[in-house]
Each structure stands twice: as C-alpha cells, then as structure tokens.
Amino acid sequence: MVCSKASIMAASATWLTSLLSSPVHGLLVTGGSLEDSKEALSIAETDGRLFCTVGVHPTRCQEFEESGDPERHFQALLSLAKEGIEKGKVVAVGECGLDYDRLQFCPAETQKKYFEKQFELAQAMKLPMFLHMRAAGEDFCEIVSRNKARFTGGVAHSFTGSAEDRDSLLAFDSMFIGINGCSLKTSENLNVLKGIPIDRMMIETDAPYCDIRNTHAGMAFVKSVWSAKKKEKYENDSPVKGRNEPCYVKQVLEVVAGCKGITDVEYLSKILYHNTCRVFFPQDLDTAGDSLLESGVIAENN
C-alpha cells in the first residue's frame, strides 16, 4: 500500500494506535507551522513507520512576520529539518504553498513571499516538497517555475483543481499530483482524475480529514468498507466512526482504478507505491516499479 498522509492535529494516542495496526507501510505526519513541525518530528520518532515534514502551511505564514524576526524563524525551520534528517525522519519540506480560499487567515502576498522562501529550505536540505495548492493555480505554478531547480521533486497533495490546473502541474517533470477523498467529490473531479497519468500520481488519505463520503461521486467505485465504532467504544481493529483513517487509502485506490477503468488493482497499487518512494523514500526503490511502468501492464480505459 502507498503512504498515507495525516494531519498532526489528530495525532492522539488512539489514532496512532489505529494507524499502526492498519496495512499502511509508512505515514507522513505533516507540519503546518514551526511548532507543528517540532511535534511532527517528536511523533515520527515513536515508530519506524512514521516520517514527517517540516514547513509552514500557507494559511499560517503570518507566523514568520509575527515572530518579529522572519529570518531567525526560517533558520529555526532549517535547524529542525537538519535535525530530522539526521534522525532519518524528515523526508520533505511542507506543507507549503498557496491557499486563496482562506485568505482570512493570511493575505496572498504574505503566502507568496514565504512559499518562495521555503524553496531555500528544500535546496539547502536537498529535500522534495509536500505542496498545497487551492484556488491559486496561476500564482502557484509561477512560483514553482521560478524555483524548479531548487527542489528534487514534489507532490501537490489533496488536488481539487481544474483540468487546466492539472495540466499546468504535469508540465513540471518532477511534480506529482496527490489524490484523496477531496479529489473525488464530483463528476467533474473524476473527469479531471482521468487525465492524470498513473506514473505522475500518488494517493493519500489526509487523515483524519478528506474521507470519501456517500454523497461523493467517487463512492460508486468503493468496494472496501470497515465496521466503524464511536470513539467511546474504540478498539484497535476498528476505525472510529466519522473520522478518516489511514487504512481508507485503499478506498482511494479503488476509486482511481474504477474511474480509470483499471482492472488490475494490485499492479496499480504497486505503481502508485513506487511513485511515492521515488519522491519521498528513494532508499526503498527497487527496479520492480520501473519494470511495471515500462512493460505497460496497465491499460487505462479512459
């Protein structure tokens, strides 16, 4: 199974127990601020399957200015990333990018300034980027274009953009597109998904958010279900009702396969896993994934 992505906000003891008992090989605990990134590293150190990112989310970029010394704040991120790399836990810069849907939290100009600043972090640490793009495709791609030589690769996660946004991202050789429940809500979303080549795609949960719901267009392709229980009756072998869980990444896989007309779901999962390793875990790469892609064993019936 490919990696799941989880918000640090939900990293409770029961949630961590449930994710570690699920069939997920690895999980990125993402940082959204300097303090979140510190906590993400602390959590990642608790289990060999946990890894993390260091960065500042676009809606929280005001913290650079509010710190009173933006450069010192950046240096603190840099030091944290270096510490995490030495511990074998930090695998990407992020979550960073642009979010124009929530400008009430941070103005666009501030977001753009510190999104671009974080490419310095990626370049200094030789890390890929875990990226956020919401209603800001043109500015996002302009900034990435100026800095494309400064990072090793990346994924625009939780993608909900248009076909035009999709094609703009695919124009960057080192960019992948991350799909989760938020990417599968409408028929239009599914049509956009059909145009993402499988060798440029990753899948994720964004747990505990972004689950696939009964009202979503993608639900028609979901085959795997779990018996969820209320959090008051939590058990290790059951997901919590109303909360997205890392194991639900399998549902995302099923929707991608169904939407793209791919019958060999196992092969698809191997290729998507391989894509994840190419960017975040190159030490785990083998030749199997490349061989699958070169042999063309998956036929997409778009």
Binding-site residues for a divalent metal cation sit at 95, 132, 157, 206
3-class DSSP assignment, residue 7: strand
3-class DSSP assignment, residue 29: strand
* Rounded Cα distance, 289 and 282, in Å: 12
Give the Å distances, CA to CA, from 296 to 52, 267, 290.
33, 10, 10
Give the Å distances, CA to CA, from 207 to 9, 29, 276.
10, 10, 17
3-class DSSP assignment, residue 104: coil
Q: Phi first, then psi: what are they for 93, rounded to 5°?
A: -95, 130
Q: Is 97 exposed, middle or buried (0-12, 13-18, 19+ CB in 10 A)?
A: buried
Are residues 159 and 167 in contact, defined by beta-carbon separation less than 8 angstroms?
no
- Report the phi/psi class of residue 193: left, alpha or beta, with left for phi > 0 and alpha for psi in -120 to 50: alpha
List binding-site positions.
Answer: 95, 132, 157, 206
Give the Å distances, CA to CA, from 189 to 22, 159, 165, 194.
28, 9, 12, 9
**Interacting residues of 127 by C-beta distance below 8 A, sequence separation 6+:** 81, 85, 90, 91, 92, 93, 121, 151, 152
